């Protein structure tokens, strides 16, 4: 499974902005490349060992451990063996904030939203029970598509009552999560403001230009670094080469085009920056298991 990077798509929907992703059964080493988003992310290692990098700091998470990625923080994760089962839960902090300007909003939620405070990235295994409850609740609602959820909300049908109750339960569990985090002393002053600025600018530059050829010379000039040094700098900070990162972006863009349009495979390849269609087809099959046309037909 692969994520979008600076995720140009929202997680969930406007009316239901809570999303859960389950990553498992990847029988080989993998790395979800560096990305960030405006939502807060909870990473829960259900089983196995997961390597996590948050704002340049490396962590190793084992069974039951929980991590938090604050909004806007660069992060990536992976496994040397692929023998890991983990969940990521994403939601905007506004989802659990308060309309009233009470003490809890002033002292906890507003500072978290503004970045003045942050949750400690590595929380240990003490919050695994809440994560398990959130997963169970979300799975109980997964029989409905996001469109169906919104339709039920709009129509206010009797069936929608159960959906609304589940959302109350999810918000309640998330508030309990924040309560336990606060009790444990895991809400800290944020002294990392401004960190990762260069790294985020590098990622943004590639994301804005990946559909055309980007030379190391051009990339280095953009950040006033030599070709040799910028290649090493990128690999050291993101554990992936520049070319691998560009290819990942192109593949994800191709996958979206195949899912959302009827463009011919040749046109998809060209729009993603591939001049050689045969190479594009081989690369796509290597990443997703099927050549592009078969992938589209099996969606």
Give dist(CA 138, CA 155) in Å, integer. 21
Q: What are the beta bridge partners of residue 185?
A: none
Q: Which residue has the higher pLDDT, 176 or 28?
A: 176
Q: Above 70 in pLDDT, residue 146?
A: no
Torsion of CA 176, 127, 2, 53, to 10 degrees: 110
Whole-number pLDDT of residue 9: 44
- Report helix, strand or coil for 95: helix
Instruction: Report yes or no on whether pTM surpasses 0.85.
Output: no
Domain coordinates in residue numbering, the chain: 19-189, 197-297
CATH code given to domain 19-189: 2.60.120.10
Output the CA torsion 209→212→216→221 (10° steps): -50
Would you say residue 258 has pLDDT above 90? Answer: yes
Q: pLDDT tens for residues 212-238?
A: 999 999 999 999 999 889 999 998 888
Helix (H, G, I), strand (E, B) or coil at 298: coil
pLDDT tier for residue 3 given thresholds of 50, 70 and 90: very low
Higher pLDDT, 85 or 97: 85
pLDDT at 138: 81
What integer is the mean pLDDT of 39-62? Answer: 94
Crossing angle (nearest 10°) for helices 242-260 and 227-238: 70
For 109-145, write each residue's pLDDT tens digit. Answer: 999 998 889 999 999 999 999 999 999 988 775 544 5
pLDDT of 257 over the 70 cut: yes
Rounded CA separation 209/245 (Å): 12
Q: Which residue has the higher pLDDT, 185 or 144?
A: 185
Q: Which two tokens stand for residue 8?
A: 């140009």
pLDDT above 80: residue 180: yes
- Res 6: pLDDT: 39
Tell me what the pLDDT averaged over the chain comes to. Answer: 86
Cα distance between residue 25 and residue 70, in whole Å: 27
Query: Is residue 183 pLDDT above 90, yes or no?
Result: yes
Cα gap 86→79, rounded to integer Å: 11
pLDDT category of residue 14 using cuts at 50, 70 and 90: low
Report whether pLDDT(189) > 80: yes
Using CA atoms, how far residue 144 sits from 14, 121, 138, 148, 268, in Å, is: 16, 32, 11, 6, 31
**Confidence tier at 8 by pLDDT (50, 70, 90):** very low
Query: Does the domain spanning 197-297 belong to CATH 3.60.130.10?
Result: no
Q: What is the pLDDT of residue 4?
A: 37
């Amino acid at each position: 499974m692969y994520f979008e990077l600076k995720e140009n798509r929202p997680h969930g929907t406007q009316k239901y902005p809570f999303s859960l992703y389950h990553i498992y059964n990847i029988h080989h080493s993998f790395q979800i490349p560096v990305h960030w988003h405006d939502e807060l992310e909870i990473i829960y290692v259900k089983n196995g060992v997961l390597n996590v990098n948050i704002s340049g700091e490396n962590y190793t998470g084992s069974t039951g451990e929980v991590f938090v990625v604050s909004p806007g923080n660069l992060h990536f994760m992976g496994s040397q063996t692929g023998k890991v089962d983990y969940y990521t839960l994403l939601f905007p902090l506004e989802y659990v904030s308060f309309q009233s300007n009470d003490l809890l909003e002033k002292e906890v939620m507003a500072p978290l939203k503004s970045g003045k405070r942050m949750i400690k990235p590595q929380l240990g295994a003490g919050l695994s029970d809440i994560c398990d409850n959130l997963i169970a609740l979300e799975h109980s609602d997964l029989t409905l598509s996001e469109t169906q959820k919104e339709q039920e909300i709009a129509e206010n049908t009797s069936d929608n009552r159960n959906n609304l109750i589940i959302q109350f339960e999810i918000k309640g569990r998330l508030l309990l999560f924040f309560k336990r985090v606060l009790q444990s002393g895991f809400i800290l002053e944020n002294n990392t403001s401004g960190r990762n600025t260069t790294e985020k600018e590098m990622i943004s530059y590639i994301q804005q230009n990946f559909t055309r050829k980007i030379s190391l010379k051009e990339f280095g000039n953009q950040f006033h670094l030599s070709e040799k040094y910028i290649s090493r700098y990128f690999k050291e900070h993101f554990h992936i080469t520049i070319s691998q990162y560009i290819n990942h972006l192109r593949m994800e863009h191709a996958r979206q085009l195949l899912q959302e349009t009827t463009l011919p495979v040749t046109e998809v390849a060209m729009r993603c920056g591939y001049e050689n269609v045969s190479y594009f087809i081989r690369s796509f099959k290597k990443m997703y298991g099927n050549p592009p046309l078969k992938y589209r037909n099996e969606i």
